[in-house]
Amino acid sequence: MTEPSLNTIELAFEELSEEQMKNRALEFNALMQRRRTVRDFSSREVPRELIDICLTAAGSAPSGANRQPWHFALISDPDIKRKIRSSAEIEEEEFYSKRAPQDWLDALAQLGTDSDKPFLEHAPFLIVVFAQKFVVDNKGNKQKNYYVTESASIAAGLLIAALHNAGLATLTHTPSPMKFLNTILARPSTEKPLMVIVIGYPKEGARVPAIQRKILNEFVSIHEE
């Protein structure tokens, strides 16, 4: 049986010295350690070109069978942001008052969160990340996607890192359920909303909770010879 031929290109790989590798790793780690979730956003404008560059970086994420099963809905329209805030706060009020168990509420209390989500209107940009269960090609054929949630989540992580690297603040918001986002943004039911990423500059004097992150040996197990 003849093996299918693969269309390949030469890998563009830049090999670095160990010192260069370590320096890059240290610089990136220091940058990411300064990343914090922000809840107080300024309405100050953000260049659209900057967002497009970061989205392009997110689109470089690995994905199952290279299906790239994600869609990013970029929103700056004030009316749409208002609708998203209104719908999200309805779900959040239900969550905080009825659905959330007490231990979850106790954990959230340390972060100062509640059902009021003004950042969904105040920040200049929102990006809703959708995971695509399948796509329809130009001939109308349905093509199943693979490792959909994993692939779209990796892309979202790259986007958050790219935005932070560009000098912007972010917040990941996950109201539950989120199907209202499909309705507001006219996205098909075959797409599952994973999160809303809020983007902008922090409001002057913005404060964040004094949290501590786990150190390496608290979240990594080592299996060496």
pLDDT in tens, 69-102: 999 999 999 999 999 999 999 999 998 998 888 9
Q: Return the structure tokens found at 172.
A: 């990941």
Domains of the chain: 37-219 (3.40.109.10)
| 4 pLDDT above the threshold of 80 | no
Which of 10-14, 96-100, 137-141, 182-186 comes out lowest in average pLDDT?
137-141
Whether the CB-CB separation of 32 and 161 falls below 8 Å is answered with yes
Q: Return the structure tokens found at 45.
A: 């404008």
Beta carbons within 8 Å of 44's beta carbon, 6+ residues apart: 124, 200, 201
Query: Please, which residues bridge with residue 193 across strands?
Result: 130
In DSSP notation, 95-160 reads IIIIIS-HHHHHHHHTTT--S--THHHHSSEEEEEEEESEEE-TTS-EEE-BSHHHHHHHHHHHHH
| 2 pLDDT above the threshold of 60 | no
Mean pLDDT of the chain: 94
Which of 47-51, 60-64, 77-81, 142-146 comes out lowest in average pLDDT?
142-146
Q: Cis peptide before 118, with omega less than 30 degrees from 0?
A: no
Task: Report pLDDT for 6.
Answer: 80
Q: Return the structure tokens found at 23.
A: 């320096």
Q: Could you tell me the pLDDT band of residue 110, with boundaries at 50, 70 and 90?
A: confident
Q: Based on C-alpha coordinates, what's the Rg of the chain?
A: 20
| 64 pLDDT above the threshold of 60 | yes
Residue 76, classed as helix, strand or coil, is coil
Average pLDDT over residues 112-125: 94
Task: Report pLDDT for 112.
Answer: 83
H/E segment holding residue 171: strand 169-173
Q: Could you tell me the pLDDT band of residue 106, with boundaries at 50, 70 and 90?
A: confident
User: Cα separation of 174 and 148, whole Å?
Assistant: 18
Beta carbons within 8 Å of 187's beta carbon, 6+ residues apart: 71, 73, 130, 181, 193
